[in-house]
A and B are shown apart, each in its own frame.
Chain A
Amino acid sequence: MNSILAMPVVFPLFTGIIMLFFWKHRQIQRIINFLGSTATLALAIYLTWYIKTSGIQCLYIGAWKAPFGIIFTADLLTMTMILVSGIIGFATSIYSLGTMDETREHFGYYPLLQIMIMGINGSFMTGDLFNMFVWFEVLLISSFSLVALGGERSQLEGAIKYVILNLLSSSLFVVGVGILYGITGGLNMADLARKIPMLPNQGIVNVMAMFFLISFGIKAAIFPLFFWLPASYHTPPAAVSAIFAGMLTKVGVYALFRVFTLIFVTNVAFTHTIIIIIAMLTMLSGVLGAASQMEFRRILSFHIISQIGYMILGLGLMTPLGIAGGVFYIFHHIIVKTNLFFVSGVVNELKGTYLLKKLGGVLKLYPLLGLLFLIPALSLGGVPPLSGFWAKYTVAVAAVEKGEYLALAVSLFVGLLTLFSMIKIWNEVFWKEQKAEFAAEQQALRQLPKFKIAMMFVPIILLAAITLFIGLNPEPFLDYANEAAQQLLNPSIYINAVLGGAQ
């Protein structure tokens, strides 16, 4: 049987549970967490290879047949996300060893982290709309706790906005699911995809599509709905905000990709045009927001928003190349963005602040860190030959093919401004001479122990190496993304794999 499909959920769950037995034993939890995330990563790699070779696989949970029971389905898009969540989970586990403070570790940081990864993996794996809501809640409630863990004022203030808006989004999601069930009588995504084109009343399908666009849009932080993100993502410790920046909004993006390639494809002219417009506005507002910020992580937070725009643009184009570009973009972006947050955390460890005006001269202190910042930063800006270049290039070519020249212009302009922001950080943090008044108060600050430095640099180097590898050798990744796009654009493959002969 395909029970292995459930393992990306089961592994983090058991890691989390076993850690609960060692409540308040910091060292043991750290070891278990490391082992658990290594196992999850190994599993994700194996599973990706397995799905790549054997096509879409399903697991009928509890042996209930397809449209009735809950299923786990894995296609190439799912596996992209599982693989990258494995990588990020692994990197964050190591990074936490170096940067997480004792209080947070005492109050269950590691179990929360693992349960959040379980929720993330579950929402990627599931093939049932209501089940996706449940997984969303699993990951949300652990992410709520992770944001607020530590209880500093800024954290709590950020957490309030994060909690309220995400609960609103969940409510909209549930209403959408309920109404969809009311009009089709199904919750299984493949079943919905089969039934929706046959509905006599297509007007309500459009309404539902907008419901899901708004609800996932809040989670993905698209144009008018992103305000919670820059208010909360820069408040928790670096390790937490890194995994949030990498994975959480991308869960929303994944959900958008899933429903708008599988379920709501009956009126592409309407829905996907809206998505393209939103994508352009998202890119612009994100990057302009970033240009005016003077805090390391807040700049990066705004850039998450602008980058989401590119992914959504790929989805909105709805061509093979566009979707492929979107998938490739997600993969590249998660790794790069997490890495940038890691770097910001190291700078904070060295200097004790994230404010650009107080920072400076890090290049002299740690030349290696400067290089490690430049790789993801330039990649984010889309400088060849790094991974971001290929991602942006694919999306841009797709836009030209579709004749969306405005979107092309916006995406190139935003790329330029992204580079501007990255150069700004580079100038302010690494290059400029630090002002004497701030240098003095930081002089006494920590001589970092060797272990800590190693634990911080290993994941950064690892992720930078992946970025470089994708950049210098993009062919297999693009092929993979193309294959994933083929699957997404032919929903019949997915539907057949899930429902089998039940049609």
Chain B
Amino acid sequence: MEFVLAIIVGILATSAFYLMLRRSLVKVILGMVFLGNAVNLTIFSVARVTKGYAAFIPENASTLEGVYADPLPQALILTAIVIGFGTQAFAIALFRKAFQKVGDDDLDKMNSTDIMCNEDIPGDK
């Protein structure tokens, strides 16, 4: 199981970085989504994949018996998914706005804050 997960993580991370290095904003956001998934699967696999019961303590017992799945990585992943979702949604809105303002989704056209700022940036007040 870990083997399969590792390969999937590898594929996801590779495609994520490939996409993030592209110039188009749409591909960058896709890369970010892939990277988020790769990260979540990494946490899932490094925290040991076990076949077992959900970690609910039975009503007449005080501890867990037998093999149970560790709930903490799942909680971590859930948190990471929610946060990732929020940031990705924000990024999409931001990219859309930037696309409208610049008129192009090419990241190479968005370098007016990187070059030597000797002139006012066009499009600013």
Is B116 in contact with A167, judged by CB distance below 8 angstroms? no
Interface residues of B in 72-125 (CB under 8 A from A): 72-73, 76, 79-80, 83, 86-87, 90-91, 94-95, 97-98, 101-102, 107, 110-114, 116-125
Residue in contact with B113 in the complex, picked from A164, A181, A234, CB distance below 8 Å? A234
Q: A154-B121, A182-B48 are in contact. Are A163 and B43 (CB under 8 A)?
A: no
Q: A163-B91, A171-B35, A181-B73 are in contact. Are A292 and B116 (CB under 8 A)?
A: yes
**Which of chain A's residues have a CB closer than 8 A to the CB of B39?**
171, 174-175, 178
**Which of chain A's residues have a CB closer than 8 A to the CB of B114?**
161, 227, 230-231
Q: Is A168 an interface residue (CB 8 A)?
A: yes
Residues of A in contact, count (CB < 8 Å)? 49
Is B46 in contact with A144, judged by CB distance below 8 angstroms? no
Q: Is A157 an interface residue (CB 8 A)?
A: yes
Q: A154-B113, A156-B101, A164-B20 are in contact. Are A178 and B42 (CB under 8 A)?
A: yes
**Which of chain B's residues have a CB closer than 8 A to the CB of A73?**
none
User: What's the Cα separation between A200 and B107 when bound, in Å?
Assistant: 46
**Which of chain B's residues have a CB closer than 8 A to the CB of A157?**
98, 102, 110-113
Q: Is A353 an interface residue (CB 8 A)?
A: yes
Is A232 in contact with B76, judged by CB distance below 8 angstroms? no
Is A156 in contact with B90, judged by CB distance below 8 angstroms? no
**Which of chain B's residues have a CB closer than 8 A to the CB of A167?**
32, 35, 87, 91
Residue from A164, A230, A298 with most neighbouring chain B CB atoms (10 Å): A164
Is B97 in contact with A144, judged by CB distance below 8 angstroms? no
User: What's the Cα separation between A357 and B119 when bound, in Å?
Assistant: 9
Is B80 in contact with A153, judged by CB distance below 8 angstroms? no
Interface residues of A in 162-190 (CB under 8 A from B): 163-164, 167-168, 170-171, 174-175, 177-179, 181-183, 187
Q: Please, which residue of chain A has its CB at the minimum distance from the CB of B25? A: A160
Residues of B in contact, count (CB < 8 Å)? 44
Give min CB distance, B101 to chain A, whole Å. 5
User: What's the Cα separation between A140 and B94 when bound, in Å?
Assistant: 14
Is A151 in contact with B97, judged by CB distance below 8 angstroms? yes
Is A234 in contact with B117, judged by CB distance below 8 angstroms? yes
Is B76 in contact with A178, judged by CB distance below 8 angstroms? yes
Residue from B76, B119, B122 with most neighbouring chain A CB atoms (10 Å): B76
Q: Is B55 an interface residue (CB 8 A)?
A: no
Is B113 in contact with A235, judged by CB distance below 8 angstroms? yes
Give min CB distance, A294 to chain B, whole Å. 6
Q: A151-B101, A178-B46 are in contact. Are A159 and B94 (CB under 8 A)?
A: yes
User: What's the Cα separation between A230 and B39 when bound, in Å?
Assistant: 28
User: What's the Cα separation between A235 and B95 when bound, in Å?
Assistant: 16
Q: Is B47 an interface residue (CB 8 A)?
A: yes
Give min CB distance, A74 to chain B, whole Å. 24
**Which of chain B's residues have a CB closer than 8 A to the CB of A181?**
43, 46-47, 72-73, 76
Interface pairs (26), CB distance under 8 Å: A133-B80, A134-B79, A140-B87, A144-B94, A148-B97, A152-B123, A153-B102, A153-B122, A154-B121, A156-B98, A156-B102, A157-B102, A158-B113, A160-B110, A161-B113, A161-B114, A163-B90, A171-B35, A178-B47, A178-B76, A181-B43, A230-B114, A231-B114, A234-B113, A295-B118, A355-B119
Query: Could you tell me which B residues sit within 8 Å of A by CB distance?
Result: 20, 25, 28, 32, 35-36, 39, 42-43, 46-48, 72-73, 76, 79-80, 83, 86-87, 90-91, 94-95, 97-98, 101-102, 107, 110-114, 116-125
**New contact pairs (9) apart from A134-B83, A234-B113, A353-B120, CB-CB < 8 Å:** A153-B123, A154-B112, A163-B87, A171-B36, A171-B39, A181-B72, A181-B76, A235-B113, A294-B117
